[in-house]
Structure 1
């Protein structure tokens, strides 16, 4: 069985659901925030993959009690079934700089992207520990969690750096006591997704500006060179099969049909090269010489 949070929209989570059910024959539990999304996901999965059992469950990953109920529901719906994979994939994104970002956007980002991962770990990892079978736990970070912060998306990148560190810590925590659990951190580059739109919609719902019943799938992205969610999921499971902890899903063949890669690995290397050589990644010699000097008005 595969359990995937943030699976109700047509993005990364949905792609993981389809691959797990359609290609691997796993029973699937698709988890998301709104009833309309999980109901749609459940019905689509059942139509596309009738050979397995598929369920959609409503859950707010920022609330530990919701996740506890979700665990109980899964055990009731699929009694005796082993959980083979858990993907803590729920996330939000607001593309604003530090100075122009809003406190409520920071709160939503840190609650969902960081505490949501921690809550999912604490809800499901004990179950994986109790099982006698091998399993995997993956949390979705981003290539943004491995590269230097840019001029936009400050809260998103900050949260994804935290997810990487959380997964690293968890891998050490379980290395000896639960070696049958394989921990991974997923760092996508460019995947077709409506994350910006779904994040804005969820924020409107939380502010009472939109009824939860009116929420529909955010759909895919509009960047023609992006990986599709299904090809991205294929790359994810290839990383898992290869035992890679850092699953950097770059836009390369055979997962895309072009030769214009995002080159995520090179951008990651740039950041660490600058650290190793003590080079500043943002300041020019001119700006460094001005630090601490009186401002000329």
Structure 2
């Protein structure tokens, strides 16, 4: 087991769900943890946990869709700690529904948070990580939905998660050509009990969208199924095991592998997408 004591861990989207679980586990492992999230109340809860455990935690309200805010965040982190050993570009929201009916502002929201939030993290942290002269790893949170074929009503979410997967594969190859020891991994959660299915809570009331009946039924059924999955704390343990093993593909739940194989067989055989396949994913 890797000794993480005293090393620096930066996590976006740490106010709830997977990000909070990762933060709690990193604190347990003795890391200096720096967390950003737009959810100030969530950060306050995390700070209370750190105080009880005497962990080294710093928090900052952060909107990852704002490039300048992420630049300031990175400047602050390096002014405080001088290095980053684990960077989790984890902040994310969920937008579902019929792809042609979802308002364009909702498409912009999920693209700006789930994809551009990762891009902003890479842009403002990776150059510094390459220069710090110590081993480090960038972990971008995608989803099992970023590997599987497009699911009904999941166009906005899966589109950006597929983009994060491809971006991280490119990042891995590009980092391999650079001097230094900075690596990359893509995290693909599946059934983890998080608040992502209630992402609308983070938006002003006038921007919240009411789904159609069939879409809402799908949303609630899948949200309830996911809620029965791993806790964020259980999931974080598995994530760190994968990191310590040097894995690029961080896919703790391998139950979806048969579906992934089916998808690539479908592509290879140039079949039409199945319209009745039921896919459950985080």
The reply to whether TM is greater than 0.5 is yes
Aligned residue in 1 for 2:19: 13
With over 3 angstroms needed to count, the CA separation of the structure-2 counterparts of 1:274 and 1:179, relative to structure 1, is farther
Alpha carbons 2:134, 2:180 under 8 Å: kept: no
Q: How far apart, CA to CA, are the structure 2 residues paired with 1:44 and 1:15?
A: 11
Alpha carbons 2:141, 2:164 under 8 Å: kept: yes
1:168 equivalent in alignment to 2:163: no
* SS at 1:191 equivalent: coil
Q: 1:163 Cα shift?
A: 0.2
Q: 1:91 Cα shift?
A: 0.5
Q: 1:154 Cα shift?
A: 1.1
Q: 1:206 Cα shift?
A: 8.3
Q: 1:132 Cα shift?
A: 1.2
Gaps spanning 5+ residues in structure 2: where?
1-7, 209-222, 277-282
With over 3 angstroms needed to count, the CA separation of the structure-2 counterparts of 1:242 and 1:79, relative to structure 1, is closer
Aligned residue in 1 for 2:110: 109
* SS at 1:188 equivalent: coil
Alignment length (residue pairs): 255
Name which one, 1 or 2, has greater alpha-carbon Rg.
Answer: 1
Matches within 5 A, 1:96-245: 96-197=97-198, 199-204=199-204, 207=207, 222-223=224-225, 225-245=228-248
Aligned residue in 2 for 1:291: none
* TM-score normalized with structure 2 length: 0.84
Aligned residue in 1 for 2:3: none
Q: How far apart, CA to CA, are the structure 2 residues paired with 1:195 and 1:206?
A: 19
Please give the root-mean-square deviation of Cα atoms over the aligned residues, in Å: 2.2
* TM-score normalized with structure 1 length: 0.80
With over 3 angstroms needed to count, the CA separation of the structure-2 counterparts of 1:178 and 1:156, relative to structure 1, is farther
Q: Deviation digits for residues 179-216 of structure 1, max 9, x if unmatched?
A: 5011000001110001121x2022227859xxxxxxxx
Gaps spanning 5+ residues in structure 1: where?
209-220, 252-262, 285-297
Match of 2:76 among 70, 73, 76: 73
Aligned residue in 1 for 2:212: none
Aligned residue in 2 for 1:249: 252
Aligned residue in 2 for 1:47: 52
Alpha carbons 2:15, 2:40 under 8 Å: kept: no
Residue range with higher mean Cα deviation, 266-275 or 109-118: 266-275
Q: Deviation digits for residues 14-52 of structure 1, max 9, x if unmatched?
A: 110011110x2111011101333323322322223x1x3
1:2 equivalent in alignment to 2:9: yes
1:34 equivalent in alignment to 2:39: yes
With over 3 angstroms needed to count, the CA separation of the structure-2 counterparts of 1:47 and 1:176, relative to structure 1, is same
